[in-house]
């Protein structure tokens, strides 16, 4: 955008998940995954689609972080890892991503390491 980003274009740019999708929430629960990360600025769409009654503002965050203990990560550089996994015929790895020690914080930058 040549140094002049268009907010209307950026609002619809990138893949995000619908935190109100019951099938997605069921899959996350049943899959047993430990972390859900994305290479864009948001794992979950904000604002979430409207729903009747009192609801969480970020339902995917509520489901993953508070109900399941599944960590969320955003802005991860996943292309090199995906290429290496594809080239080696693998799909699994050990992820370590220690957070900074920030007492009282609700989130932290991490330094993720994939061990193959």
pLDDT tens by residue, 18-50: 999 999 999 999 999 989 998 887 899 888 899
> CA angle 6-8-9, nearest 5°?
70
- Is residue 28 within 8 A of residue 59, CB to CB? The reply is no
Q: How confident is the model at residue 53 (pLDDT cuts 50, 70, 90)?
A: confident
* Cut 0.85: pTM above it: no
Look at residue 20 in the predicted model and tell me its pLDDT.
Answer: 96
Is 70 in contact with 28 (CB distance < 8 Å)? yes
Mean pLDDT of 75-97: 93
In which band, very low, low, confident or very high, does the pLDDT at 16 lie, cut at 50, 70 and 90? confident
Residue that wins the pLDDT comparison between 106 and 61: 61
Q: For residues 21-56, b (16+ Cβ closer than 10 Å) or e, as one string? A: beeebeebeeeeeeebbbeeebbbbeebeeeeeeee
Q: How confident is the model at residue 9 (pLDDT cuts 50, 70, 90)?
A: confident
Number of H helices, E strands in the chain: 4, 4
Phi and psi angles of residue 67, each rounded to the nearest 5 degrees, phi first: -85, -35
């Amino acid at each position: 955008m040549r140094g002049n980003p268009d907010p209307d274009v950026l609002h619809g740019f990138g893949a995000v998940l619908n935190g109100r999708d019951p099938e997605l929430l069921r899959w996350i629960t049943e899959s047993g995954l430990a972390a859900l990360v994305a290479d864009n600025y948001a794992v979950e769409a904000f604002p979430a689609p409207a729903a009747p009654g009192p609801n969480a503002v970020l339902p995917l965050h509520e489901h993953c972080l508070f109900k399941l203990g599944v960590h969320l990560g955003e802005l991860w550089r996943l292309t090199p890892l995906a290429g290496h996994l594809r080239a080696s015929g693998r799909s699994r790895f050990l992820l370590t991503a220690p957070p900074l020690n920030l007492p009282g914080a609700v989130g932290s930058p991490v330094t993720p390491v994939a061990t193959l």
